[in-house]
Amino acid sequence: MNHLNLKIFPLCLILTVLLPATANAQSSFNTGSKNPEKGLFGKTIGRAGKTKAREPRSVHNAKRKQEKKEKRLKKEYAASVERSRKRTYEIQSPEVQSRMKENQKDATLRDKQKKKNLKANTRKAGRKYS
């Protein structure tokens, strides 16, 4: 029994000396903020190089104005194309109009079939190489 106490005593002494030292090392490290990891690891790489420069109000307004103008022009162009198509269709004779409708339907079906075949082929190729 006395022999057992001689082995445990140095172990307890070492533990009582080392444990508070490691606990003090962590708690005495003051980061100055609520997040202790921020003080330990410093700034992140992602934030360090990204500074955002604001452009002047006149530049911002000019860009917005240009975007509005481009949007309006695109809309006007689409309307013009639609008017042109309608007029081209209306000036044709009824036989030609029916033929134009049939051609449009055939073209739509061809496009659908092409897309379907392309999708099936890429799926097969994907299965082959995966």
- Is the pLDDT higher at 52 or at 89? 89
Distance between CA atoms of residues 17 and 10, nearest Å: 11
CB 41 within 8 A of CB 32: no
Examine the pLDDT at 44 and tell me if it is beyond 90. no
pLDDT at 87: 96
Examine the pLDDT at 49 and tell me if it is beyond 80. no
pLDDT at 58: 95
**Mean pLDDT estimate for the chain:** 81
Domain boundaries, the chain: 63-118
Distance between CA atoms of residues 48 and 76, nearest Å: 46
